[in-house]
Amino acid sequence: MALVLHVDGDRWRAHLRGTVERQPGLVPVIKGNGYGLGLHRLARRAQWLGVDTVAVGTHHELPELHQRFDGDLLVLSPWRPFQPTPEELEIDPARVVHTVGRLQDLEALDEQGRTAGRPVRVVLERLTSMLRHGLPAVDVRDALRVVGDGRGVRLEGVALHLPLPVTRPTLLTKPSHVPEVERILSDPQLADLARFGERATQVWVSHLTESELEILALKFPGARFRPRVGTGLWLGDRGALRVTGTVLDAHPVERGDTYGYRGRSAPRRGTLLVVSGGTSHGIGLEAPTGEATLKARAASIARGGLDAAGFVRSPYSVGGKQRLFAEPPHMQVSMLFIPHGAPVPVVGQELDVRVRYTATAFDRVEIS
Ligand SMILES: *Cc1c(COP(=O)(O)O)cnc(C)c1O
């Protein structure tokens, strides 16, 4: 009676190990809904992988992790003065590495560290073509001046958050992130980060491919690249993952029978299938099926097509085919329409469901 994420344990763990071995210095990203697997589970898995650091999205996620993973905790979201301190979250501040993207925030942390008599660990984020967070080039000199003697803040490197890897270059997209990284790291201000200690030579990067990382490692032998990887690690081998919902009920209907919250009438003979998984799990309406042109719609109406009746594709598959929602998903279940003639699964049968893992709340995660 549930939406379940099934994980082929051996295959998944082999993929995790392989990914970490291929990308030395990899930092697992553990944030949000834990990529569908849960923050707590990923934290324990990171411990098992033996990495020295994990990255969380926001400081709110630290309490879920810090007792399950015992290394460093990098917070990806840049520090702001209005967020709680590690002490307030009852987390050892010596384990937390803050990302800093504004000069005034760096100054505030420097002040905090000096007052506490213990430097705050920071990574300086440089603004990239993402234009999300980070210091613009003109602020780098002042930022390094604030870092200064390292008494208030201890520099743990520079961070670059890049757009997603380019899979299909167009005239408007760059085929590789290498030139952008090169341009940022060639800033003479960043040439000698080693003067702030060995850890300051770390370059925390996101969304670089393995080959881009190899090229950059050759171009910048003095830098230690730390790829921050979430999707490619936890969800990188989709073949190890399978999502199912369960058939809970099945009702034969004739054309014209009414059903559902909205009293719709069945456009043709078939079966209404009630399956587990609804809006509370993140099951949403997918793109409408069929063509949008008037002519195509008219043809579809003539055929008695379900798309003409306004039915929308669901993420559930029956008999290898993605089926249509009979109406928008309910909170915990969804109603599908199986046209007459197609095989009708029995109550209790599991159906494959296509979901966005990062936006789905599973009832259960089963790792074999
Ligand atoms: C979420 C995030 C990542 C990980 O992204 P994936 O696409 O899941 O690998 C890396 N860096 C930053 C700054 C992020 O916010």
Q: Look at residues 181, 202, 236 and tell me which one is the last residue of a structural domain.
A: 236
Would you say residue 199 lies in a domain?
yes
CA–CA gap between residue 54 and residue 27 (Å, rounded):
5
Residue 109 has pLDDT above 90, yes or no: yes
Over residues 281-303, the mean pLDDT reads 65
The per-residue pLDDT of the chain, averaged, comes to: 92
Q: Look at residues 207, 236, 265 and tell me which one is the last residue of a structural domain.
A: 236
What are the Cα distances from residue 95, in Å, to 66, 81, 101, 365? Answer: 9, 19, 20, 29
Q: How confident is the model at residue 303 (pLDDT cuts 50, 70, 90)?
A: low
CA–CA gap between residue 303 and residue 326 (Å, rounded):
18
CA–CA gap between residue 294 and residue 7 (Å, rounded):
44
Concatenated DSSP letters of 246-272 = EEEEEEEE-TT-EETTTTEE-SSSEEE
User: Ligand 1 centroid to 35 CA: how many Å?
Assistant: 11
Residue 97 has pLDDT above 80, yes or no: yes
User: Ligand 1 centroid to 141 CA: how many Å?
Assistant: 27
Question: Does one domain contain both 282 and 348?
Answer: yes
Question: Does one domain contain both 252 and 273?
Answer: yes
Would you say residue 269 lies in a domain?
yes
Question: Does one domain contain both 143 and 220?
Answer: yes
Choose which residue among 29, 56, 209 to substitute to test ligand 1 binding: the one with the highest number of ligand atoms within 8 A of its C-beta. Answer: 29
The pLDDT of residue 164 is: 83
Residue 285 has pLDDT above 70, yes or no: no
Residue 245 domain boundaries:
239-367
pLDDT digits (tens, 9 = 90+) for 23-34: 999 999 999 999
Number of domains in the chain: 2
- Among protein residues, the one with the nearest Cα to ligand 1's atom 11 is 206
Closest ligand 1 atom to Cα of 228: 10
Q: How confident is the model at residue 296 (pLDDT cuts 50, 70, 90)?
A: low
Residue 290 has pLDDT above 90, yes or no: no
Residue 316 has pLDDT above 60, yes or no: yes
The pLDDT of residue 139 is: 96
Choose which residue among 124, 206, 234, 235 to substitute to test ligand 1 binding: the one with the highest number of ligand atoms within 8 A of its C-beta. Answer: 206
The pLDDT of residue 163 is: 85
pLDDT digits (tens, 9 = 90+) for 202-235: 999 999 999 999 999 999 999 999 999 999 999 9
327 CB-near residues (< 8 Å, 6+ apart): 259, 260, 261, 262, 264, 335
Sign of CA dihedral 214, 220, 226, 231: negative
